Structure 1
Amino acid sequence: MSINTYADGTTLRTRPLHEYFGVEVIGVDFTRPIAPETAREILDLADRHFVLLFKGGHLSEQQHVDFTEALGPIIPPVEEAFASTSNPMLLRLGNVAMDGSKLPDDSAAANYGDAGEPWHTDGSFKREPNYLTILHALEIPPERGDTWYASTVAAYEALPQAMKDRIADLRMTHPYPSRHKKTADWQAQQFEDVYHPLARDIPGGKKALFLAHPKSNGQIEGLSREESDALTTELYEFMTSDRFIYKHKWTLGDTLLWNNRGVVHSARGWDKGRHRRLLQRSETAKARLFA
């Protein structure tokens, strides 16, 4: 465990979550403004470890927004229909309505998370992909409903050199996921397909795999559909093998922050008919600049 103390009295301790990535961060008080030096340290941890876990304590909508804004300019949810009506910068994920009632199992909001089960990078369909995602647990089911993360950095580093050479100059499309058959009735912005490299440079001098999931209809430039699907599937199966995965089992009050440049994630399903689940999410496209 590492320990750092700052001028505002904040002491941050970290504990590893996985061999390759992820740390639990202990010592952040969300009831107080996040001092710039603390924010800089959190951003540095996000760039080095990619997944940060903060445990304990309910985060109000305003505290969630304030924490996000301390780290980078918050961006509004693309899926406005699923945003909080009291704070439109926050997306609500689950089957609980604003009035606290359980949503019908076949409602668009309850099924929105189904499109998040295939491994993906938040905002990869944008020309400037998302940087940070911050997710806070308000209600959790007694079973299932976990969130899994896979290190795209560790996976790239473990690739055979022949595969690194093969994908070095390849790009692929990252379609917007409203085409998911279970969520065809999303009311959201529409995006033209964008191309991103299969192996992208990220801050710190590292490379990371950057793939659209085979189920998304993304395609590698210059390859046939069959060739593209085969290569993408091969890379995804390698990247999401057990050795690269951290499986987070939610407890009430958990806050997870992840750097989309270094991980993909999968929102695992739960029994919507029997159990309630509610998470609130914010996003940034870039880090805040400090004087």
Structure 2
Amino acid sequence: MLRALIFLLLPPLLFGCLAEEDEEDIVNDQGDTVADPTLRLNGLWDGQLDQAGSIRVLIYNGNLFAFDATTGFYGTVALDDESATATMMLNGYSYSSSDTEANQLIAGGSALEYDFSGLLFPTSEADDTLVGDYESDIAPGGFEFNNDGTWTRSSSFAALKGKWVSSGYELFLSEVNNELSFREVSIATPSTGCTSRGTIKLINEEEVLYSLQLVERKNCTGFNVTSAPGFATVNVDGGLEFFIRKGGELMYALYEREAAEEVTETETETEGEEETEEEVVEEVAE
């Protein structure tokens, strides 16, 4: 009887162990395990440094990208659940060859260290504001980040497929073998030959973030690289954003969906008048 009882108990115990082993730890780009509280920071944020200008921030699984008017930031972030304190250890890189008219920001060169510490608290919604101070190699300061509320929007290839534009560039995305293939070309005059290509994949259909792999970018004034990982997302205004990193170089890009051709009221009225005239001619002929 005892032997039979042992055999009955063994399968559930074994399955329980296997289930625990199947749960993989989430790690950041540096290979460090990310604690569950830190995942509360996943999202897209807007804000300011020192109550001036604007900054765009992406936080995902313990890593942070940020871009303001002069600097691109990248590094790690962690949230202490007991104190609701977020600690961010970032490198800041000055912009080198950015094209602000095309909304393409490229940062690199010597890094400055920044240590941010902020309180996570709710204003209109839970966990929607980070406010605090920072220390840097240059000077201390303060910051405030506000979650833009887009994180829980769904993601799909249909939302990205097609043609996107920015000043002097066209971006084409097509679905191929369960991923999106993209190609960007310069349409500037005179021609620059700047072009890039890569792929985009879904991460979680219940979130608005996509994984991006820049296969190659060449003949551009900066960030001519191969095999650069990053992320893509659609912001609150419907713009397509890229956050890309290659070693100590960062790139942010923003595109708008190509506007559909609009039919003016004058054209519509003219077409209607022509149809009416044709009907009158047909009636007279009858």
Same-fold status (TM-score > 0.5): no
Bigger strand fraction: 2
| Greater radius of gyration (CA) | 2
Q: TM-score by structure 2 length?
A: 0.23
- What TM-score do you get using the length of structure 1 for normalisation? 0.23
More helix by share: 1
